[in-house]
A and B are shown apart, each in its own frame.
Chain A
């Protein structure tokens, strides 16, 4: 084909143009359809998403009285705890793999293992959480068990993103630090972590948004569906936004299914947008300071 005589292929140019437009259509069509659907959803939530919705508990029978309070607070608790657990462990693991571990079969094994864990479906982590935390450690399906399970879900993402950020720090920084007599940990703490921070934070926030939207692992550990209270301690029963939305969407009552669920989704998406805006802000704010 390539190098064929132009005259032998009168439609070559037209075919090329058609192909270009077809590819562009692929790129824009999916985005257009999704925006249309999201716009429709926004209109369904109109009139339902109000102060009453944000400050009330769920209602079994009347859609107008249903609210998102328990799920909202539950999600905040869950994300807070997950951050406290996943960030130190994930960043620590990344530092170990990048800065401490020698090139060895053990390191290769751990790295392959992390790549594979990133591909494990979240519901399988839910089954692990059920067996390990809820039943093995007898925690019950409380906030702590939920947060531990979500930590396992996002740990591979945090580790991979932090490794990437650490790898991007030029090795001259390390050499200079060692040459001045700093130990390995001093180099990590005073040089590498500050330099890699914007990258690490971006990865962490992406991982947390994943955790915020996950319902499957929470269902698997047996998190309660209908909760009429805000969790007080770390072993209290809880519900979370995606879980609450799932229950509403499953409801036979059309007002719950279409309108209340849409209002819940808007609250969830608003939280996700806030998280991601923080990521963009942090990248901008801290990214500027570093000049090599």
Chain B
């Protein structure tokens, strides 16, 4: 690695001037790159707000937030987002119920029990799992999971919320495992050894000392995973159905906010109509929900963290 030097033959004044020019040019260019991320946020907020305002000039916010029927193409159209929100809640909640115990168990195993050899195999496998595209899980849900679910519960629809919850649980699992494992491993050894010295078993140490010590990070990983489940799109659009209804029965066919946006974008709703404008209003609701979950997770990480030094 050689340190760059200008050619010695060039006159000093020119070299300095040229250098300063390049320096300020690069500074400005790099500043622009960093600003691009800010522009992205501004763009998201502006577009969602402007288009949603047009929508809300025709549909009252109260009707949108409290209406129990979502039928944008009916006559007269009804725009109550509760059925879509309920569908999202059902899928995200169901997948969290499945993935959180499994994910936490796997994280504890990797951090406290697994030998380095096993961990070296399992961690890359989890990374691979995290890299499988959403649409592949949609396929798995329809072709493999749905027949199994209907075998166990004959009254279930072909497309149902449980289907979607199961595949979304598999999708968010790697996230819970790797984030939780990181915080579990960062609990200092001295805490564990102190507990062992007091006669605790490995179970006592893990459940009574290590997990509580890492609790803020574990909670944050749950919230981030739930945020991911709320925003999960293709798998849910394929697996959960297209029927926006207000139900908490996981065997029913439902529709989530994300799946509604996909259906409307793919369909031939004419642009500029109220029915088309709905995707921005639903998008805004989705954006605010995931943002709230992410901000809460970051807040927990920042303020609730136990410090050991």
The interface residues of chain A lying within 8 Å CB-to-CB of B201 are 12-13, 15-16
The interface residues of chain B lying within 8 Å CB-to-CB of A33 are 170
Interface contact B139-A26, CB-CB below 8 Å: no
Name A1-47 residues within 8 Å CB distance of B: 1-4, 6, 12-13, 15-16, 19-20, 22-27, 29-31, 33-34, 37, 40-41, 44
Q: Residue-by-residue, is A140-158 near B (CB-CB < 8 Å gives 1, otherwise 0)?
A: 0000000000001001100
Interface contact B238-A121, CB-CB below 8 Å: no
Binds A, one of B62-70, B244-252, B261-269: B261-269
Name A213-247 residues within 8 Å CB distance of B: 213-216, 219-222, 225, 242, 245-246
User: How many angstroms between the C-alpha atoms of A225 and B290 in the bound complex?
Assistant: 28
The binding surface of chain A is classed by DSSP as helix
- Shortest A175–chain B CB gap in Å is 12
Name A158-185 residues within 8 Å CB distance of B: 159, 176-177, 180-185
The interface residues of chain A lying within 8 Å CB-to-CB of B32 are 92
A-B pair number, CB within 8 angstroms: 287
Interface contact A183-B291, CB-CB below 8 Å: no
User: When A122-B233, A124-B283, A216-B134 are in contact, do A257 and B261 touch as well, CB less than 8 Å?
Assistant: no
User: When A92-B29, A184-B23 are in contact, do A16 and B138 touch as well, CB less than 8 Å?
Assistant: no
Q: Kindly state whether residue A93 has any CB partner on chain B within 8 Å.
A: yes
Interface contact A19-B203, CB-CB below 8 Å: yes
The interface residues of chain B lying within 8 Å CB-to-CB of A119 are 224, 227-228, 231, 290-291, 293-294
**Contact pick for B43, options A30, A121, A128, CB 8 Å:** A128
Interface contact A15-B203, CB-CB below 8 Å: yes
Interface extent on A, as a size class?
Answer: 35 or more
Interface contact A246-B1, CB-CB below 8 Å: no
The interface residues of chain A lying within 8 Å CB-to-CB of B34 are 92-93, 96-97, 101, 110
Q: Kindly state whether residue A269 has any CB partner on chain B within 8 Å.
A: yes
The interface residues of chain A lying within 8 Å CB-to-CB of B38 are 109-110, 113
**Contact pick for B203, options A16, A116, A261, CB 8 Å:** A16
- Shortest B138–chain A CB gap in Å is 6
Interface contact B136-A265, CB-CB below 8 Å: yes
Q: Kindly state whether residue B48 has any CB partner on chain A within 8 Å.
A: yes
User: When A92-B30, A119-B224, A246-B138 are in contact, do A220 and B4 touch as well, CB less than 8 Å?
Assistant: no
The interface residues of chain A lying within 8 Å CB-to-CB of B101 are 26
Interface contact A258-B143, CB-CB below 8 Å: yes
The interface residues of chain A lying within 8 Å CB-to-CB of B279 are 127, 220
Q: Kindly state whether residue B214 has any CB partner on chain A within 8 Å.
A: no
Interface contact B290-A120, CB-CB below 8 Å: yes
User: When A12-B203, A23-B109, A26-B105 are in contact, do A120 and B291 touch as well, CB less than 8 Å?
Assistant: yes
The interface residues of chain B lying within 8 Å CB-to-CB of A195 are 1
- Shortest B10–chain A CB gap in Å is 14
The interface residues of chain A lying within 8 Å CB-to-CB of B204 are 1-2, 12, 16
Interface contact A219-B203, CB-CB below 8 Å: no
**Contact pick for B105, options A25, A101, A132, A269, CB 8 Å:** A25
Q: Kindly state whether residue A81 has any CB partner on chain B within 8 Å.
A: no
Q: Kindly state whether residue B37 has any CB partner on chain A within 8 Å.
A: yes
Q: Closest 6 CB pairs between A and B?
A: A121-B231, A213-B133, A26-B105, A92-B33, A23-B109, A131-B47
Q: Name B's A-contacting residues (CB within 8 A).
A: 1-5, 19, 22-23, 26-27, 29-34, 36-38, 40-41, 43-44, 47-48, 51, 101-106, 108-110, 112-114, 122, 125-126, 128-129, 131-136, 138-140, 142-144, 170, 173, 177, 195, 198-209, 224, 227-228, 230-234, 237-238, 258, 261-262, 265-266, 279-280, 283, 286-287, 290-291, 293-295, 298
In the complex, given contacts A96-B30, A123-B231, A123-B233, what are 20 additional A-B residue pairs having Cβ atoms less than 8 angstroms apart?
Answer: A1-B200, A19-B203, A20-B109, A24-B114, A31-B125, A93-B34, A114-B37, A115-B294, A117-B37, A117-B40, A119-B228, A123-B261, A128-B44, A132-B43, A180-B5, A190-B4, A220-B262, A221-B265, A249-B139, A257-B143
